Amino acid sequence: MGRKLTLDEGCAPATVSRRGGSVSGALILHRTFRNSVFRWVSHHPMSSLRILVIVAAAILQAARAAELPALRVRAQTIDPAIQIGYGLAIADVDGDRKDDVLLADAKQIVWYRAPNWEKFVMAENLTPKDNVCIAARDLDGDGKAEVAVGAEWNPADTVNSGAVFLLDAPADRTKRWTPRKLPHEPTTHRMHFVRGAERSYSLVVLPLHGRGNKNGEGEGVQVLGYEWPWRQNSRPEPLISNLPPLHLTHNFDLVQGTGQGAQSVETLLLATKEGVRSIDAPANRAVPPPVTSINAGEVRRGALPGGTRFVTTIEPMHGNELVVYRASTTQYSSGDDWTTRRTVLDDKLVQGHGLATGDLLGTGGDQIVAGWRGGPGGAKVGIKLYVPADAHGEAWKMHALVDDNTMACEDLKVADLNGDGRLDIIAAGRATKNVIIYWNETEGAAAPKKK
Ligand SMILES: [Ca+2]
Ligand SMILES: [Ca+2]
Ligand SMILES: [Ca+2]
């Protein structure tokens, strides 16, 4: 089904950018080779014009690829001694307009305060078993994040495990927060605060399994939406009861709305055993048909420089393949199955588990950051950056090794943590027990963006 990225495809002819250095660089290259090319083609039986076109396209493509800056990162370990590092969130916790790093570690929920990354414990030992996920976002507009967490993690218990808490902030946010337990489904696994219509928000919680599931089979998962603010008589709302049953729903991403009012509603992209599904959660309306139909464990949205949308996945759950699917339009819910437009970027990930998209190089489109946590075999762990190698996002290539064997990546995010306009990478390691900020110091990367 999938197409393997090869070196040849990485150099395939593509539409040539007319911007700045690419054309002038290409012209210089072209002039350098022009005379010898002409000498060669004059003695060759193939069509001179056809050869010229092929050679020129290859030269122009090489020049275009060369215009991408080399990624330069500086790794700063902000915590060398965590337990597992299940989930990261990036938000301004204390309202100083600097984004902080939040972490759901096995027993503690902590945050690291920018710009010096002092560690503060928000909550500890919420349940007998591990914490597993965290959501943080300013919902009421006071500039300080609201926080929710998931706990009692035990994927083997699809009946009684799981827990969902809101953490109520103390006046001094460096002190302990007060947990408020909400109703939940078993195997609580991922959560996001999601924007609905008219600036409303809800907490959306995704379990890994359906109730009572064994071996990833049985009843479909129940995705729950919790209204915010949560009141005493509030009840969680099932969001996907109108969909065919989904299983092994390992993660989900948010797609921002494109306008105001009802148009600002965020939709969800779910990675499931059945493929990627687009869900209009606040309206409780599934968008059929599926985006893809291949078992995926991670999913993130992205866009090419021209605006064409893509989704990137790690397949299967905890799998080895990093994949891109291209949309036929600039919409995620274009109504067709994207599975036929599938490119495998890498098939050597060992338990791929961290995934993010963002314009780290300042190209005007998204690149892909993927991290893997390794397995018992002792394979190297790390993080890599991948870039599109043609204008259509059909061919991709590895652009940089961000981390070489110091990050057994359990989760990663991209965010501009120091406000210099360049997206940094934040990752938490399971076997390596660390939290690292990879400061993006790429020359010529994006200009600062307004928040
Ligand atoms: Ca802050
Ligand atoms: Ca707030
Ligand atoms: Ca930055």
| pLDDT in single tens digits along all 451 residues of the chain | 333 332 222 222 222 232 323 323 333 333 333 333 334 334 444 556 665 665 565 555 545 555 899 999 999 999 999 999 999 999 999 999 999 999 999 999 999 999 999 999 999 999 999 999 999 999 999 999 999 999 999 999 999 999 999 999 999 999 999 999 999 999 999 999 999 887 899 999 999 999 999 999 999 999 999 999 999 999 999 988 777 899 999 999 998 887 777 778 888 999 999 999 988 755 555 555 678 999 999 999 999 998 899 999 999 999 999 999 998 877 666 567 899 999 999 999 999 999 999 999 999 999 999 999 998 888 999 999 999 999 999 999 999 999 999 999 999 999 999 999 999 999 999 999 999 999 999 998 865 454 4
User: In angstroms, rounded to a whole number, what is the distance separating the alpha carbons of residues 402 and 70?
Assistant: 11
> Is the distance from CB of 246 to CB of 277 less than 8 angstroms?
yes
163 beta partners: 151
C-alpha 419 to ligand 1 mean position (Å)? 12
Residue 306: the pLDDT is 87
C-alpha 199 to ligand 3 mean position (Å)? 28
C-alpha 94 to ligand 2 mean position (Å)? 9
Task: Name the token pair of 139.
Answer: 């919902």
> Is the distance from CB of 424 to CB of 437 less than 8 angstroms?
yes
C-alpha 235 to ligand 2 mean position (Å)? 22
C-alpha 441 to ligand 3 mean position (Å)? 8
C-alpha 151 to ligand 1 mean position (Å)? 25
- 432 burial via Cβ count (<10 Å: 0-12, 13-18, 19+): buried
Q: Residue 448 CA: which ligand is closest? A: 3
C-alpha 292 to ligand 2 mean position (Å)? 36
User: In angstroms, rounded to a whole number, what is the distance separating the alpha carbons of residues 410 and 250?
Assistant: 13
Q: Residue 116 CA: which ligand is closest? A: 1
User: In angstroms, rounded to a whole number, what is the distance separating the alpha carbons of residues 92 and 402?
Assistant: 25
C-alpha 136 to ligand 2 mean position (Å)? 9
SS (HEC) of the chain: CCEECCHHHHCCCCCCCCCHHHHHHHHHHHHHHHHHHHHHHCCCCCCHHHHHHHHHHHHHHHHHHHCCCCCCEEEEEEECCCCCCCEEEEECCCCCCCCEEEEECCCEEEEEECCCCEEEEEEECCCCCECCEEEEECCCCCCCCEEEEEECECCCCCCCCCEEEEEECCCCCCCCCEEEEECCCCCEEEEEEEECHHHCEEEEEEECCCCCCECCECCCCCCEEEEECCCCCCCCEECCCCCCCCCCCCEEEEECCCCCHHHHCCEEEEEECCEEEEEEHHHCEECCCCCCCCCCCEEEEEECCCCCEEEEEEECCCCCEEEEEECCCCCCCCCCCHHHCEEEEECCCCCEEEEEEECCCCCCCCEEEEEECCCCCCCCCEEEEEEECCCCCCCEEEEEEEEECCCCEEEEEEECCCCCCCCEEEEEECCCCCEEEEEECCCCCCCCCCC
C-alpha 419 to ligand 3 mean position (Å)? 5
Task: Name the token pair of 447.
Answer: 């200009």
* CA 221 vs CA 134, 286, 293: distances in Å: 19, 14, 17
* CA 440 vs CA 23, 35, 91, 271, 324: distances in Å: 27, 41, 18, 28, 24
Q: Residue 142 CA: which ligand is closest? A: 2
Sheet holding 321-326, edge to edge: 3-4, 342-346, 321-326, 309-315, 298-303
C-alpha 291 to ligand 2 mean position (Å)? 34
Q: Residue 229 CA: which ligand is closest? A: 2
- What does pLDDT average to over the chain? 85
Residue 362: the pLDDT is 95
> Is the distance from CB of 77 to CB of 427 less than 8 angstroms?
no
User: In angstroms, rounded to a whole number, what is the distance separating the alpha carbons of residues 163 and 207?
Assistant: 10
Q: Residue 447 CA: which ligand is closest? A: 3
36 phi and psi, to 5 degrees?
Answer: -70, -35
Residue 23: the pLDDT is 29
C-alpha 440 to ligand 3 mean position (Å)? 6
C-alpha 437 to ligand 2 mean position (Å)? 25
C-alpha 73 to ligand 3 mean position (Å)? 10
C-alpha 10 to ligand 2 mean position (Å)? 45
> Is the distance from CB of 429 to CB of 373 less than 8 angstroms?
yes
C-alpha 406 to ligand 1 mean position (Å)? 27
Amino acid letter at 422?
R
Q: Which chain residues have CB less than 5 Å from ligand 2, an ion?
A: 138, 140, 142, 144
C-alpha 244 to ligand 2 mean position (Å)? 36
Sheet holding 251-255, edge to edge: 251-255, 267-272, 275-280, 285-286
C-alpha 269 to ligand 2 mean position (Å)? 25
Task: Name the token pair of 56.
Answer: 């020129």
Return the residue matching tokens 């605006």.
307
| pTM score of the predicted model | 0.84
User: In angstroms, rounded to a whole number, what is the distance separating the alpha carbons of residues 22 and 27?
Assistant: 9
Residue 384: CB atoms within 10 A of its CB come to: 22
C-alpha 336 to ligand 2 mean position (Å)? 38
